[in-house]
Chain A
Amino acid sequence: QQQVKQSPQSLIVQKGGISIINCAYENTAFDYFPWYQQFPGKGPALLIAIRPDVSEKKEGRFTISFNKSAKQFSLHIMDSQPGDSATYFCAASGDNDMRFGAGTRLTVKP
């Protein structure tokens, strides 16, 4: 049962461009929304996370936008760099459950 839908599946961006990845969730009990970054052969690592009491959170070049009424959230990577090339997973969690999106493979071309 997929509870977090992530798009696109893959994304190619030029260096310096903006990368945008979108996620939608179903369970209204979810109240913590992290994004994880995974490089080949490594485990996922937390990139940035948001709770629904704010609509946006920014950390450096990474921004999460959150729309509670639409049950959607997105990751924006500004000034994308080749070193950002990785797979990105959104997730949604609550008291007793955590679900991951299917992942987006981002390639940033020099």
Chain B
Amino acid sequence: DAGVIQSPRHEVTEMGQEVTLRCKPISGHNSLFWYRQTMMRGLELLIYFNNNVPIDDSGMPEDRFSAKMPNASFSTLKIQPSEPRDSAVYFCASSLGEGFRYEQYFGPGTRLTVT
């Protein structure tokens, strides 16, 4: 299996622009997680999907962030409009099971820089 696939790997954009990050989970996994990692705040859970349905989005920082999972093999995280403080590495992870008690397989991440 190719593992969790994320694109792009690097994104540089200007403040105010829309940014869309993409994730393909491991085939057969039914849970998907989006995380953000920064030096200041560490690894933070943004949103969790189970069977394509958003279960917990309490970690989404504000209305500028939105996430969708239209099918079992694809998810997007969108930031509109982007701000410099959104600069971080964004990880997508998937797991075989519901909830947080199963091994999560992380993708390589997308490094976002907002200037």
On A, residues with C-beta under 8 Å from B are 31-32, 34, 36, 41-46, 49, 89, 93-103
Contact = CB atoms under 8 A, between A and B. Distances in A.
Given A101-B42, A103-B42, A42 B103 contact: no
Contacts of A42: 108-109
A81 B93 CA distance: 28
A43 B42 contact: no
Contacts of A49: 103
A89 B106 CA distance: 13
Interface in B21-55: 42-45
Contact of A100 (B43, B99, B101, B105): B43
Nearest to A2: B42
A98 B106 contact: no
Interface string B8-28: 000000000000000000000
Contacts of B109: 42-43
Given A42-B108, A43-B91, A43-B108, A98 B42 contact: no
